[in-house]
Amino acid sequence: MTGQTLLIVEDDPGLQSQLRWNFDQYKVQVADDRESAIAAIRKSVPAVVTLDLGLPPDPGGVSEGFRTLQEILAETPFSKVIVITGNNDTHNAVKSIGLGAYDFYQKPIEPEILSLVVKRAFRVFELEEENRSLARQHFAYPLRGIIAASTEMHEVCRTIERLAPTDVTTLILGESGTGKEVLAHALHALSPRANGPFVAVNCAAIPENLLESELFGHEKGAFTGADKQVKGKFELAEGGTFFLDEIGDIPLALQPKLLRFLQERVIERIGGRKEISVDVRVVCATHQDIQKLIEQGRFREDLYYRINAMVVSIPAVRERSGDIQVLAKAFLARYVEQMKSKLTGFSETAIAAMECYSWPGNVRELESRVKRAVIMSNGPLIDAEDLMLPGGKPSEKITSLREIRDSAERQAICQALSECNGNVSKAAELLEITRPTLYSLLTKYRLKI
């Protein structure tokens, strides 16, 4: 049981020392009021907490005890809290369980019995931990070549895994640089078609008049300059996966032909007369809002229904909790090795600036900023300036008043936390809000302290 922390929340000095002595086999921490209990929890998460309901300023009542219980569980929902109530106070004991306490114990305290209750609570905590860790092993890993720690991205990875064995047409949505192509590739690599080709065509990168030939191929003499037969990319993807990137940019004139291919899996080369059947799995991607394109008459609705059988939405980097630092560190390690640099990490201001920045270019931008910083930095740590990041300047692409407010709020929080060296109480004071409000804003903006 070593290393497991027991937090005793008790205001009576006599009982405090009795309990401390009684539980000397654990790492014991003692708190005598709500504030110090929460402070202790933030320092090291206890496996088990014993909580006296009668705490100052209401030692004779239960109000402060219940408040403490709720705050403890909000901070550390996995800790096992044993509530210690007055003699025969069954009503409040039951109420505690209702609020989420693990168990209760009625005074007077008999050390041996309380020891058993605490021991069992440790055991339950351990088992639950084991369970959580197994669940993490099962579900919380990214795919090969994908760097991600956030649950948002892990969910995307699980979806890709589930879709991989199927042949269903898949649409990958996400802002520029979020990893649409890497995920399309991962989908292919995990599929039964992995040994077949992965052929990608970017509809936005090929001039409109050449795209049809690129996709479907042409026969000799089909048009001026067609001096030999050329197979299209659909044909070249036979037996594999065809990645149609930036499908939002596909010209309207070409859409019926694409729709026919998706429905019947046959193509006709330009200038050709025969139908050629092709066995490919189609994955499409776009950073555009296709619904809007439909409204504007730039995208056929029937084609949309063909491609959106399965939609995978990749969150923007700023919406992934915890990924910014993980990605930055991985790219740093990559370029430090490549460039034989002596840099060892990021400064605190660099980390704060990265967390505050909105990353409109997502992973691609993050990678290129880190790469540049590795070249430019004098070390040993990369600073915000090396990343050319404003100290938390909000996104320039603002579309609504709400976004402006959110962005300003996020920036103010980052700044306050940075000024207070991550001290939440001080930052809350500076911002003239309560600490719980600050915590909920940290969650809202996915900010880590």
Binding positions for ligand ATP, 343-402, rule CB under 6 A = 363-364, 367
DSSP letter at 214? H
Binding positions for ligand ATP, 179-208, rule CB under 6 A = 179-182
In order of 52, 236, 351, 386, 417, the CA distances from 369 in angstroms are: 52, 36, 13, 8, 24
Q: How far is the CB of 140 from ligand ATP (least distance, A)?
A: 14
Helix, strand, or coil here: 13? helix
Among 148, 280, 389, 427, binds ligand ATP (CB under 6 A): 148
Residue 118 or 247 with smaller CB distance to ligand ATP: 247
Residue 16 or 178 with smaller CB distance to ligand ATP: 178
Cβ-closest residue to ligand ATP? 179
Asked whether the beta carbons of 52 and 84 are under 8 A apart, the reply is yes
Asked whether the beta carbons of 354 and 346 are under 8 A apart, the reply is yes
Q: How far is the CB of 374 from ligand ATP (least distance, A)?
A: 16
Binding positions for Mg ion, 41-80, rule CB under 5 A = none
String of contacts with Mg ion for each residue 181-220, x by CB under 5 A: x---------------------------------------
Cβ-closest residue to Mg ion? 181
Contacts (Cβ under 8 Å, ≥6 apart) of 139: 154, 158
Q: Please identify, among the stretches 59-67, 84-92, 178-186, 411-419, the one whose residues bind Mg ion according to the rule CB under 5 A.
A: 178-186
String of contacts with ligand ATP for each residue 54-93, x by CB under 6 A: ----------------------------------------
Dist. CA 435–CA 444, nearest whole Å: 14
Among 54, 65, 174, 392, binds ligand ATP (CB under 6 A): 174
Dist. CA 133–CA 136, nearest whole Å: 5
Using CB distances below 5 to 8 A depending on partner kind, what does residue 143 bind out of ligand ATP, Mg ion, none?
none
Q: Does 176 bind ligand ATP (CB under 6 A)?
A: yes
Q: How far is the CB of 180 from Mg ion (least distance, A)?
A: 5
Residue 183 or 350 with smaller CB distance to ligand ATP: 183
Nearest to 354 by CA among 329, 391, 311: 391
Q: Does 365 bind Mg ion (CB under 5 A)?
A: no
The one-letter amino acid at 60: G
Helix, strand, or coil here: 322? coil
Contacts (Cβ under 8 Å, ≥6 apart) of 184: 172, 198, 200, 241, 243, 245, 283, 285
Binding positions for Mg ion, 422-441, rule CB under 5 A = none
Q: Does 332 bind ligand ATP (CB under 6 A)?
A: no
Q: Does 287 bind ligand ATP (CB under 6 A)?
A: yes
Dist. CA 330–CA 219, nearest whole Å: 48
Helix, strand, or coil here: 303? helix
Q: How far is the CB of 422 from ligand ATP (least distance, A)?
A: 27
Q: Please identify, among the stretches 48-56, 143-151, 156-164, 293-301, the one whose residues bind ligand ATP according to the rule CB under 6 A.
A: 143-151
Residue 54 or 174 with smaller CB distance to ligand ATP: 174
Q: Does 319 bind ligand ATP (CB under 6 A)?
A: no
The one-letter amino acid at 272: G
Asked whether the beta carbons of 301 and 254 are under 8 A apart, the reply is no
Q: What is the DSSP string of 328-396?
A: HHHHHHHHHHHTT----EE-HHHHHHHHHS--TTHHHHHHHHHHHHHHH--SSEE-TTTTT--TTPPPS
Q: Does 178 bind ligand ATP (CB under 6 A)?
A: yes
Q: Does 47 bind ligand ATP (CB under 6 A)?
A: no
Q: How far is the CB of 339 from ligand ATP (least distance, A)?
A: 17
Q: H/E element holding 277?
A: strand 276-277
List residues near ligand ATP by CB under 6 A: 146-148, 174, 176-182, 287, 363-364, 367
List residues near Mg ion by CB under 5 A: 180-181
